[in-house]
Structure 1
Amino acid sequence: MNIEKLHQLFLESSGVTTDTRNIKNNNIFFALKGENFNGNTFTQEALNQGAKAVIIDEESYYLNEETTIVVEDVLKTLQKLANYHRNQCNATIISLTGSNGKTTTKELIFHALKENYNTIATQGNLNNHIGVPLSLLQIKEDTQFAIIEMGANHQKEIEFLCSIAEPDYGYITNFGKAHLEGFGGFEGVIKGKSELYTYLTSNNKTIFYNYDDKIQREKLSSYHKTFSFSLSNESEADIQIETSIENEFIQANFQDSKITSNLIGFYNSTNIAVAITIANYFNVPLDQIKQGIENYAPTNNRSQIIQQNSNKIILDAYNANPTSMQAALNNFDKTAGKEKYVIIGDMLELGNEASKEHQEIINITKGFHFNKTITLGKIFYNCDGQTEKFEDFEGLKKYISQLNIKNSIILIKGSRGMKMERLLEIL
């Protein structure tokens, strides 16, 4: 079946899925393969659950021409279908990547735009070679904007995702010390993330950027289709947005309007500012921008504020790298509270830089005024200059239980693989 016919079948369906647990009636099931699974083996199960058709790449699972379509490679077919669908739609594609803050920024842009336009955005963290196609296939005939998040941990990944999404606009949140192992160091991060810039400049597309970020400003100095924002009133950016912290939350002042977010940490200022910038660029009325941003509240372990018994917990356990960890600690040091505890877990995927970067975080904490800094994980455990350190969760769990922390404010942060949210049950 060629891609045009497959696309027509897609339009007649209720959407696509790659997981039999989520099949809805009339879905098309793409039988993807992984290291520990083979979607082809679920062909009959998918049909039993109401799938309209199943896309497979092993002929032994073929049933009949009405229900099973054999292709050379299921994943490549999903990607081709997404790209074809993207080019049949009228939606404007805004893609974003970066080391920190991608998902929060995506949500803020989505909330600001959807007040005035029919807008969709990447759901959850579906931002890789499978997630981006699935996100693009959420675009409907009446969709006006699609905010597509792109994640990467090695070179050429963003370049490939751009070839599928073909974005009209783009934004890079920042260049940080994330996935150093895969990218080959910090310079590799800059090179890899900048593949979004390369695509946009090569195709004469518009780039939004943070004028205050020297790396981005210099990279884009000779490109003519840019639109910038700054947190400084004295900059030469296209838009200036003043931000401050009011009662722990970030507040933005723009065109004599105060926009009070539900986000803590000054590091979120640029995330809010770019959402205002993009919505304003596309002529969303200011009162609707304000409403959209003020309606967004973080979830899923991303800078969540949780009141638990007498303690206030800042749960930032979705992910961590040296850049985001230092920003979180700096912010926590400035947060009001007499009794302050920090519980941090290992930062993963740092390769040869892991020991050095973890030791640097330990050294930084000595300059802060915390009651205790407690670490979890083998990398932190091998660092010098700390007393409360635990290799495994059971040891930490026992220690925390004995501390009997009350009337305190607690920061919890670590890489996704550390599952730091488990501490909520103890605290």
Structure 2
Amino acid sequence: MERTLERITVISLIQKLKRQSLHGVWPSVELSLSTDSRQADQTNFFFALVGEKFDAFQFVEQVISQGCPLILFQYSEEKDKKALELSKLHNVTFVGVSDTTKSLQELAHLRRFEWGQKGGKVIGVAGSNGKTTTKEILRSLLEHSGFNVCATEKNNNNHIGVPLTILSVKDFHQVLILEFGSNHPGEMEVLCRISEVDAGIITNIGDTHLEFFQNRENVLKEEAEIFFQMQKKSKGLIVLPQEDVLLATLKDNSIIHQVSQLNWSKKTIAFDFGNSHFELENDQLEGRHNFVNLAMATSLAQTVWPAMKDKILLSAQKVNLPKNNRSEFIHLQNTTIFLDAYNANPSSMRAALELFNHWCTEKSIPLEKRCYILGDMYELGDKEEAYHQELGKELRTMKASHCYFVGKFSLAYNRGFGQGHCFSHPDDLKPQMSDLKSKFSAFFIKGSRGIKLESLLANEERSHTGH
């Protein structure tokens, strides 16, 4: 991921980092940050990150040849010796640090407060499902309300993506929206400490990453870290849905603000927030879960910016979502495809099925003309087969009659459903897609990112999704 740091601040911030070594002199020109050796040039400093299987220090001679004047690397005696030689030979400055990831996070923390002192607000979005959608709804809402917004791109929401997003914020931005993702205990604590958000939304608590969290109670502890960090400082704002049983256990009236009495109908959602009742209309969004997210985004925005309340409520009807393989309807000449090939777990699968079936009912598409294609759900722990089987049972309960299961857990799905068609890989099902499209009016296609169910679509269909 390539992000650009505001040039007027980068050198002064880097000089504040704890360092192991320094070879050369600080450049007299301001530079942008690059973590991509292919793009590092005379306008950038190169942050040579180290991961489990890579060390970007191996590319230093390449970035030097491209004119890069400053390189930050993870210190070792061997690398420091080479850095000293290259510094003298090419007049390039090298900064050695003990841990490049922690230094990146420290740099982001410094930038967050430098930018925040100018009046910028940091908003965090956490939760098991719907984080990216909620982030995009909030971004769209605030942009339509007249704010300059910087937000997490795609799902760059981890220990590298969050600091790079912070470092991409420009002085003219008024709001920074950060999506927080975690699949191991303790990761949220790091993200919240770097970001120190002013306000946040927790979307829900579901069966995500159970391979590492084991149960929903542990998921709650992780996702609620954004709230716990605020409690320590006795300030902040968290918006969450009252209907989520586990989130409802979080108690602190000075920080927690609940959206309650949610009542969704087609293109309208009514809800209570604080002492007021609201009704929002929107023709762009589909499904109850997206309208719940809209209610939370609108509630947060009008609380953080009360003087903008009327404009924010008016802007809610203009909110739309980008096309990115997430819960989108692709309308073709003779059929409609619901595609969500970005992520999947039992909670999000149920929400997507509810959305799809509601849409089909509205369009008078009978069950026998609906085709369901479900792919593997990953990172569910030792109960992964049971979760797939349970969803198969739920498909049978809803009287789905044409189901196709793809991936390692296709047989587990079918043990629950009983009469489905099983395929080990999307390529095995792909030859049948043309025939299936001639039989069915609506398709439900959803699975985890790794199973790549979007590959089932023809090239011209994939063009509708932004590919």
- TM-score normalized with structure 1 length: 0.88
Identity, % of aligned pairs?
34
Query: Are 2:111 and 1:82 aligned?
Result: no
**Which amino acid letter does the alignment assign opposite residue 70 of structure 1?**
G
Aligned to 1:411, what secondary structure does the other structure show? Answer: strand
Tell me which moved more, 33-42 or 20-29: 20-29
**Which amino acid letter does the alignment assign opposite residue 403 of structure 1?**
L
Tell me which moved more, 264-273 or 53-62: 53-62
Paired residues for 1:94-105 under 5 Å: 94-105=123-134
Query: Are 2:138 and 1:109 aligned?
Result: yes
Query: Are 2:160 and 1:165 aligned?
Result: no
Query: Are 2:243 and 1:243 aligned?
Result: no
Contact 1:3 1:80 in 2 (8 A): no
> How many aligned residue pairs are there?
412
Q: 1:411: which partner in 2?
A: 444
Paired residues for 1:152-301 under 5 Å: 152-204=182-234, 205-220=236-251, 222-232=252-262, 243-246=264-267, 251-252=268-269, 258-281=280-303, 282-283=305-306, 284-291=308-315, 294-301=318-325
Distance 1:423 1:12 in 2: 50
Distance 1:401 1:289 in 2: 44
Offset of 1:413 from its aligned partner? 0.3
Contact 2:282 2:316 in 1 (8 A): no
The structure with the largest alpha-carbon Rg is 2
Q: Output one character per residue of 1:174-209: Cα deviation in whole Å (capped at 9) or x when no partner.
A: 100010011122222112112222111111122222
Flag the 1:101–1:404 CA change in 2: closer, same or farther, 3 A. Answer: closer
Offset of 1:279 from its aligned partner? 1.9
Q: 1:16: which partner in 2?
A: 33
**Which amino acid letter does the alignment assign opposite residue 296 of structure 2?**
V
Distance 2:326 2:125 in 1: 18
Distance 1:29 1:202 in 2: 36
Tell me which moved more, 94-103 or 199-208: 199-208
Query: Are 2:424 and 1:391 aligned?
Result: yes
**Which amino acid letter does the alignment assign opposite residue 436 of structure 2?**
L
Q: 2:99: which partner in 1?
A: 73
Offset of 1:6 from its aligned partner? 5.5
For structure 2, list consecutive stretches of 5 or more residues without a partner in the other structure: 1-10, 18-25, 272-276, 462-467
Flag the 1:243–1:49 CA change in 2: closer, same or farther, 3 A. Answer: farther
Distance 2:395 2:256 in 1: 38
Q: Cα RMSD between the aligned structures?
A: 2.6
For structure 1, list consecutive stretches of 5 or more residues without a partner in the other structure: 233-241
Q: Output one character per residue of 1:289-324: Cα deviation in whole Å (capped at 9) or x when no partner.
A: 544662422321111221234221111111000001
Contact 2:335 2:437 in 1 (8 A): no
Offset of 1:79 from its aligned partner? 0.8
Distance 1:151 1:126 in 2: 8
Contact 2:339 2:446 in 1 (8 A): yes
**Which amino acid letter does the alignment assign opposite residue 167 of structure 1?**
V
